Amino acid sequence: MSRRVVLGALALAVTVVGCRDAGERAPAPVSAAAPAPPASQAQVASAPAKSPRPDDACADCHPDEVEGFARTGMGRALYTPRSTPPIEDFAPEKATVTHAPSGLVYRAFVDEQGRWWQAESMPGTSYERKVEVRYVIGSGNHTRSYIGEVEGELIQLPLTWYSRRKIWDMSPGYERADTNYRFARPVIPQCLFCHNGLSPARPGTMAGYDMAKFAEGIGCDRCHGDGAEHVKARLAGGGPPAGQADPTILNPKRLPPQKQHRVCEQCHLQGEARVLLDGQRWDAYDVRTPLEDFVSIWSPKQAGGPEFTIASHGQRLSLSACATKSDGRLGCTTCHNPHRPDDGASKRAACLSCHQPKDCGDEHGLAADADCAGCHMRSGGTSDIPHVTFTDHFIRKKPKADETRTAPSTELVDMLAATRVGHGEKASVREAIAHFEVFRFGHSRNGRAHLPLARQLLTEVTEKFPDDARAWRALGGASASMGNAKAAAEAYARATALAPDDPLALTDLADALEAQGRLKEAEEALRKAIALREDYRVAWGNLGNNLQRQGRHDDAEQAYARADALAPFLALTANNRGHNFLSQGRLDEARRWFEEALRRDPSEFVSHFNVAFTLIEGGHPAEALAPLDRALARSPDFPLGLWLRGRARLATGDTAGSRDDLERLIAVEPSNLAGYLELSKAYAEAGDRRAAQAVLARAMVTVGPRPEIATAIQQLNQAPASAPPSK
């Protein structure tokens, strides 16, 4: 789970803002050296072209198929940047994009050594961080996205090249203020399952892989299975009699139509959630295992069928009369040859294998080279990827450009259930997990509506299947997301008891325990996580927070130092180290770390706030105003920022500005006691005792009777009428 919460609470004795780190990925390192100037398109184009991932063993006997597949979109699914000629425009004016909600600027460039990079900067500052492109993902027919590496794990980079429009823009999902992952979106095994060959995942990580065995592109094995025995038999001169099936390799053409479709539906039956069957792994699938025995694929039940998305081919095709009336014979390979790029003639021939030209009628004007699909399969934008024109595989007489769609239901349907034999006893577990995944990954338009249903179903299935670690962990996540730390801790404890070797689950357990104040138990869970994975920076950082809350400041500093050594570019850890020193009254050291956090990432508004807090505590309220202005410019309704700037303005004699901030604070948080007390003080300092009394009366109604309010009323009444109360 990726969560960040504020440690400091706005109260009378306010503290600076620290952060928990419970799974969010780190930003990329700040480069000490200035980046080289971007290369021109001509410079980049000189990179040698080669097949992204040739299957040499297969090519010996099947050269045409291997060469043809390498030219298809699947054959160009993932590759290193310089293994193929670029199609991108790296001119600075083209390759620079501003993320409007945050103001951060991203640019793609190529350095003098030919290495590809993406960089993030903030206008008005000298800040820049960059991550090298390790892999290009996508054929380029529609898009090309990019993969980098941070803390030993793969992440998606913020910019994508949109081929049809020939523009750079934010990668899908990065465009909103709350979903700009920056350099922190993990490329998990489930994602790579469809975008790459099977790559061994490192246990205990979200997106770590055995890079010595990392696949580069989709190979023959994804449709034909592991070919080692096939190659061995053929090299030894063996093979089946002519015309008979070869048991050492899968030939999809010999499968019944429905099973042929399943080979393609590994990736082309999208759904809203995919849940593995028990004992399966995303990095260990052989296509000779029926897809329905490997995964369940869940789609919302809704009128009009599933939405038109970039990988909804199988779902949308199934809505067509051509598919429903063909007894399963119409499938992907009816129109597409996976061993070569498509052409118009092959698509037209597929249509004419069932339909005759006379079926279209004289008024249709069927030409000899007519593009049947161009009329009967709509092309347009998808619901999930911007800037693309894609083919909707729902075949209709007259496709509608704009479909009226109802909101998707929270009812999910497993699209592979009809052909699955067995495995029914755990179907309810997979369904419950699917609801949580729809919420967790946020792809659905009504994803949050699945959360309470997920928790309800997960509660039921864990009672029925108490030994299912995945269900318990999902229940922990659902409970935590709904704010029930006690239930989350109980669920995570059951999950980690059943699967004790998962440092990620142990960190989630520690989160839930700490939310209840069970600090020693949380510390124990974090130390178990670190024992399993010594380089787990998240656990080291959270251990520092835990020890700080226990008052063990020296131990906390040691834990933070370990986290910083693993990710010395992370502002979060610097802020928490400053918080730790501030808790000890060591103001200068605290400020040094808060300023270091700003150097690492000036876009983090909490860093500006923390610097301002140390300035006010050190008796410099006027100097605190500038960083507070910057913090509130980035987060205008930040309660702590409004409270602190109200204090700073009051201390510098700006009572009107102070009142504005504090009134805004109370509007944002009507039950904020500190805001009422400071606002009352601001009116009193301005000589308006009646307004000050009215503020305290509002506090009594909204917050309720509190000793602090009674004390403030007493002090206000005792102050001389001719002069405002002293500071």
Q: What is the DSSP letter of 337?
A: -
- For the residues 623-651, what does the mean pLDDT come to? 95
- 323 and 176 in a single domain? The answer is no
Rounded to the nearest integer, the mean pLDDT of the chain is 86
- 201 and 346 in a single domain? The answer is no
- 70 and 177 in a single domain? The answer is yes
Q: In the chain, pLDDT over 90 holds for what percent of residues?
A: 64
- 60 and 202 in a single domain? The answer is yes
The pLDDT, as a whole number, for residue 321 is 78
- 168 and 71 in a single domain? The answer is yes
The pLDDT, as a whole number, for residue 337 is 85
Instruction: Count CB atoms within 10 A of the CB of residue 334.
Output: 20
Cα Rg, the chain, nearest whole Å: 30
Tell me phi and psi for residue 668, to 5 degrees: -75, -40
pLDDT at 6 over 60: no
Instruction: Tell me whether residue 144 is in a domain.
Output: yes
Cα–Cα distance for residue pair 640/628, rounded to 1 Å = 10
Instruction: Tell me whether residue 285 is in a domain.
Output: no
Q: Residue 685 sits in a domain of what CATH number?
A: 1.25.40.10
Instruction: Tell me whether residue 204 is in a domain.
Output: yes
The pLDDT, as a whole number, for residue 25 is 34
- 75 and 204 in a single domain? The answer is yes
- 73 and 177 in a single domain? The answer is yes
Instruction: Tell me whether residue 664 is in a domain.
Output: yes
- 193 and 329 in a single domain? The answer is no
pLDDT at 292 over 50: yes
Cα–Cα distance for residue pair 371/367, rounded to 1 Å = 9
The pLDDT, as a whole number, for residue 7 is 33
Task: Kindly report the pTM of this predicted structure.
Answer: 0.86
Instruction: Tell me whether residue 140 is in a domain.
Output: yes
Q: Total domain count for the chain?
A: 3
Residue 171: closest CA among 387, 430, 457: 387
- For the residues 334-351, what does the mean pLDDT come to? 79
- 195 and 330 in a single domain? The answer is no
SS3 of 319, please? Answer: coil
Instruction: Tell me whether residue 425 is in a domain.
Output: no
Instruction: Give bridge partners of residue 155 from the DSSP assignment.
Output: 148, 186
- For the residues 613-620, what does the mean pLDDT come to? 96
Cα–Cα distance for residue pair 422/406, rounded to 1 Å = 34
- 320 and 198 in a single domain? The answer is no
Contact 335/323 with Cβ under 8 angstroms? no
pLDDT digits (tens, 9 = 90+) for 517-551: 999 999 999 999 999 999 999 999 999 999 999 99
Contact 6/575 with Cβ under 8 angstroms? no
- 192 and 327 in a single domain? The answer is no
Q: Please report which confidence band the pLDDT of residue 388 belongs to, taking 50, 70 and 90 as the band edges.
A: low
Cα–Cα distance for residue pair 351/358, rounded to 1 Å = 13
Contact 80/89 with Cβ under 8 angstroms? no
The pLDDT, as a whole number, for residue 32 is 32
Q: Please report which confidence band the pLDDT of residue 257 belongs to, taking 50, 70 and 90 as the band edges.
A: confident
Instruction: Tell me whether residue 257 is in a domain.
Output: no
- 199 and 79 in a single domain? The answer is yes
pLDDT at 397 over 90: no
Instruction: Tell me whether residue 478 is in a domain.
Output: no
- For the residues 599-626, what does the mean pLDDT come to? 96
The pLDDT, as a whole number, for residue 29 is 30
* 273-276 β-sheet, strand order: 273-276, 295-300, 412-414
Strands (E), 583-675: none
Cα–Cα distance for residue pair 215/218, rounded to 1 Å = 8
pLDDT digits (tens, 9 = 90+) for 145-188: 999 999 999 999 999 999 999 999 999 888 777 778 999 999 99
Residues of the domain holding 724 = 639-727
